[in-house]
Amino acid sequence: MDDISGYTDAVRGMWGDADYPALADRFAPAAHDLVDALAPGPHDQVLDVAAGTGSAAALARERGAAVLATDLSPRMVALGRGRTAGSGVVWLEADVEDLPLPPTCADIVLSSFGLIFAPRPAVALAQVRRALTPAGRFGLTAWTPDGFMGRMTRVMRRHSPAPPGLADPLDWGRPEMVRDRLAAFTDVGVVTRTLPWHFDSPAAMTAFLLAHSPVHAAAAAGLGGARAAEMFTEVEEMTGPAGWPVRLDAEFLVATATVGNT
């Protein structure tokens, strides 16, 4: 897709359409793993891109770093500002593919389940590299294609296909692909982790996703009643018997890298 401005405008609105903070809480263990891996300290300037409501940003700030949190969605930025009010986290509305920031402004750039949604990974990565100092560190989290989130995404795509020509966010969850994309960095590390994905029942999971996940709410709205129900039935069947509690571990990877001198 050459001109992505229409797509970007659509997702800018879409990400503000559900009540995201409860989903951010469920994803928070990954933000902890990411911030632990990058270990920001009081002398670091940290840039959180596609920060959502600022889970990783807040943790970096707790470690004493100066933190700038950015996101495409005005609603996410407003929620993040409210959540981190008084902590010193600074917020800016910005597309990760077009960061309005000076070069070499960040010691650490990080993104938990955020940069993976950039439709042009090479463009986003170029922005990250430009923002980083020569010894800067980068890290992201991404759902693995074969973990529950990856498999659920594939089911959803079958029912509600993504626009053609855009990168697949799940590619960031493939270790070999991540290493390839980060080839210009040094010290590339990739580890897999899980976070708990627990609900009282498959139907409770669907209700939660419809209320709190912008992606699921948008897919359901686009498909309409019967077709959305069909999609969620298929998703629920992946979790175990109807009516039983959902007790899954959702697999993701944490990738880290250093700019180095190349």
Ligand X SMILES: C[S@@+](CC[C@H](N)C(=O)[O-])C[C@H]1O[C@@H](n2cnc3c(N)ncnc32)[C@H](O)[C@@H]1O
Give the footprint of ligand X on this chain (CB under 6 A).
Answer: 11, 15, 24, 27, 31, 50-52, 55, 71-73, 76, 95-97, 112-114, 117-118
Q: Tell me the pairing of strands 132-143 and 246-258.
A: antiparallel
74: tokens are 């005005």
Q: From the CB of 142, what's the least distance to ligand X, in Å?
A: 11
CB-CB neighbours of 118 under 10 Å: 26
Cα–Cα distance, 73 to 6 (Å, whole number): 14
Minimum gap (Å) between residue 103 Cβ and ligand X:
19
Chain residue whose CB lies nearest ligand X: 52
Pick 93 or 234: Cβ nearer ligand X = 93
Nearest distance from C-beta of residue 24 to ligand X, angstroms:
4
Coil, strand, or helix at residue 243?
A: coil
Contacting residues for 72 by C-beta, under 8 A, at least 6 apart: 8, 11, 12, 15, 50, 93, 94, 95, 96
Shortest Å, Cβ 179 to ligand X:
22
**Shortest Å, Cβ 72 to ligand X:** 3
Cβ closest to ligand X, residue 37 vs residue 240:
37
Q: Which is nearer to ligand X, 168 or 201 (CB)?
A: 168
Contacts of residue 59, Cβ cutoff 8 Å, sequence gap at least 6: 31, 32, 35
Nearer to ligand X, 74 or 241 (CB): 74
The nearer residue to ligand X, 19 or 237, going by C-beta atoms, is 19
Amino acid letter for position 23: L
